[in-house]
Structure 1
Amino acid sequence: MKFPTSLLAAAVLATAVSPAVAQEAEIWRDIAPENLWVIDTSKGRVLVELAPDMAPHAVERIQTLTRQGFYQNHAFHRVIRNFMAQTGDPTGTGAGNSELPDVPGEFTFRRSRRPAFIETPTGRADRAVFGLYGSMPVRTQPDAQMFVTADNRVDGMGYFCPGVAGMARSASPDSANSQFFLMTAYRANLNGDYTPFGRVLEGLDVVESLKAGSDAEDGVVTNPDRMLNARLAADMPEGERPRAQVLDARSPRMAEIVQAAVTERGDRLTVCDVVPPVRIEG
């Protein structure tokens, strides 16, 4: 069993506590197998938690194409170091897509109380609220505003931090189809203009190791690494199926991790700096 964590989380994990106290402080959220996306690449495996609460149309498209066997032997045709890695084009040129119709952009969403949300104070002068909605970094409104909205929800927008998965598109905001990208660094210019639909739970190092293209060629890769296959954990044989848990925002330990980040970074803290611990089995 592996326990990947952020550097900020690791500082808290190193604190000595009794087993009984540690157990009480931990609440783990099981990732539904239909929302655990298993991507096998020529460099290794990547596990992505899909976020249907934020991008239901994009997640449905990813699930549909995955179950159709569409994502097999696709090139990571555009990889820009310290930015992102893009794939999902069957032609490997960046111009291809699936035969399914395009899906609408989902650049914002309405946030409910589930999955749980934990704020990450950023020291900003405005009233924007940042935090983790499940595993996803978001900008949103305070929970208190849910009491005065008709749907008991508030506005939210995903942030493109490292590990976030996004739908690629052309100039039209509603032109996402089958291509997607995995972030390896934060890019503010994508927030509100592209659809974030998940986050890497394990294998970000694999994404970072993919062969990159040159800046002069806008990241277009010659002899690229490949996405060999993609599956949903729900569709894998029981003996091969990975299982994932993420530390729940309601967990006292998660609050300790956030506080440690605030103490370490102060006003320099961003929503990208806190990554919830993950447990992977299989």
Structure 2
Amino acid sequence: MRPLSALLLALALLAPAAASAQSKPPAGPTIVLQTTKGDVTIRLRPDLAPRHVERITQLVREKFYDGVPFHRVIAGFMAQTGDPTGTGEGGSKYPDLKAEFSKESFKRGTVGMARTNDPDSANSQFFICFAPAPWLDGQYTIVGEVVTGMDAVDKLKKGADGDGMASDPDKVKAVRLVDQPR
């Protein structure tokens, strides 16, 4: 085999491996939500939303999310937490964040930032999708994805029809940062 032919064959054989390595998102910090229904491991995506991921990890370190309810849980759609008041209107002491929309799609296990009608109003609240939600694509900031524990998310107490506000909701007992890539 000629050297050029051997080189082209080697490149052709390596191309699929290189393509799959490129399609895998870079490693981000990992957090574990200890909930009343079990643990949920979330890999955060600083490649998509660096400021939002920085905020979440800051709040985890400050134990902000410990004891916070899943105040809004809509069957077939999503479970929302991150509001210490449990009303859906609370947040952290920090200013709201500018949106960091991406081309990624909301699917089962996607973690997105909750906000008001103002795209730049995300603060501390986030939600986990039970199912694909393509109508959110490009409209809400994606901050991560559930790696393990969707069974626990599926068991969260669902709220009332309409607004999904749960009475006597399940809670995030504690959140810990388990992996912080360098």
Asked if these proteins are the same fold (TM beyond 0.5), I'd say yes
- 1:190 is matched with which residue? 136
**Is the partner of 2:138 in helix, strand or coil?**
coil
- 2:8 is matched with which residue? none
| In 1: Cα distance, 2:179 partner to 2:29 partner | 8
- 1:21 is matched with which residue? none
Which structure 2 residue ranges, 5 or more long, are not aligned? Answer: 1-20
| Cα distance, 1:187 vs structure 2 | 1.1
- 1:170 is matched with which residue? 116
- 1:78 is matched with which residue? 72
| In 2: Cα distance, 1:104 partner to 1:184 partner | 25
The structure richer in strand per residue is 1
Q: CA RMSD in A?
A: 2.0
- 2:14 is matched with which residue? none
- 1:226 is matched with which residue? 171
- Across the two proteins, how many residue pairs are aligned to each other? 160
Describe the superposition over 1:186-235 as per-residue Cα deviations: whole angstroms up to 9, x where unpaired. 1111001000010000001110110001213x100000000111110048
- 1:15 is matched with which residue? none
Report the identity percentage. Answer: 49
**Is the partner of 2:143 in helix, strand or coil?**
strand
Which structure 1 residue ranges, 5 or more long, are not aligned? Answer: 1-26, 109-156, 236-282
The TM-score with structure 1 as length reference comes to 0.54
- Structure 1 runs (4+) deviating above 6 angstroms are none
| In 2: Cα distance, 1:213 partner to 1:54 partner | 30
Match of 1:88 among 82, 93, 106: 82
| In 2: Cα distance, 1:94 partner to 1:51 partner | 24
Contact 2:31 2:179 in 1 (8 A): no
